[in-house]
Amino acid sequence: MTGTPRVSGAVMLDQIRVMEELAGPDAVRAARDSLPPEQRSELEHVTPVSWLDSNATAEFVVRVAEHIGKDPERFQIDVVRLGVERTLNTLWRVILKFTTDAALVKRTPLLYSKTYDVGQLTSRIMQPGRADLELTGWPGVPRMELVGLATGIETVLRCAGRQDVRVTFDRRPDGAVFIANWRV
């Protein structure tokens, strides 16, 4: 891997809107203003076609959470879940409900590649109600990113009508493995 992993500006703009709703615009502004100048500038000038340093975006989420007295991982889960739900709560939700498990899991790597510019996510159905997803090419992936990815995978499956979805992850030297289970 060369350079710092980056996050899609489009994804970050959605998450900023969610954070403003959950924490308030003043808390989001104060957290952004508390960042080092380079990180602050990156977030102030984000566009849908930008790619942002993932360390800056993770630190931003942590600072917003701390500003409102919330656990950063819990806040990350809330932000990702609500952001994905909003994205999928349009016509996509209806389409997703008619998508097979195999087709849904097969497209997960594409969603990943539109969110991050590092690593590769592969996925496969292991049995009805279980999918294994493997992230490679991102050694030392931060826990906050793993929490966000697990939440995103879980939310997509839930929005697609899968019941009792649970996603766990296990860090690996080159990334992580995610196990998604749901009731069939």
Q: Determine the pLDDT at residue 1.
A: 47
Q: Determine the pLDDT at residue 88.
A: 83
Q: Determine the pLDDT at residue 177.
A: 98
Q: Which helix (H) or strand (E) holds 96?
A: helix 91-97
Tokens coding 174:
């080159």
Angle at 81 between CA 39 and CA 157, to 5 degrees: 130
Instruction: Tell me the whole-structure pTM to 2 decimals.
Output: 0.92
Q: In angstroms, what CA-CA distances link 50 with 1, 13, 63, 114, 115?
A: 20, 10, 21, 12, 11
In three-state secondary structure terms, 16 is: helix
Q: Determine the pLDDT at residue 91.
A: 61
Written as one string, the DSSP assignment of 35-90 is: S-HHHHHHHHT--TT-EEEHHHHHHHHHHHHHHTT--HHHHHHHHHHHHHHHHHTT
Q: Which helix (H) or strand (E) holds 138?
A: none
CA distance 78 to 60: 15
Let me know: does 36 contact 80? Beta carbons within 8 Å: no
* Cβ atoms < 10 Å from Cβ of 114: 11
Q: Determine the pLDDT at residue 107.
A: 87
| Single-letter amino acid, residue 109 | P
Mean pLDDT by 10 residues, the chain (184 residues): 84 96 98 96 96 95 97 98 88 73 88 95 95 97 96 92 96 97 96
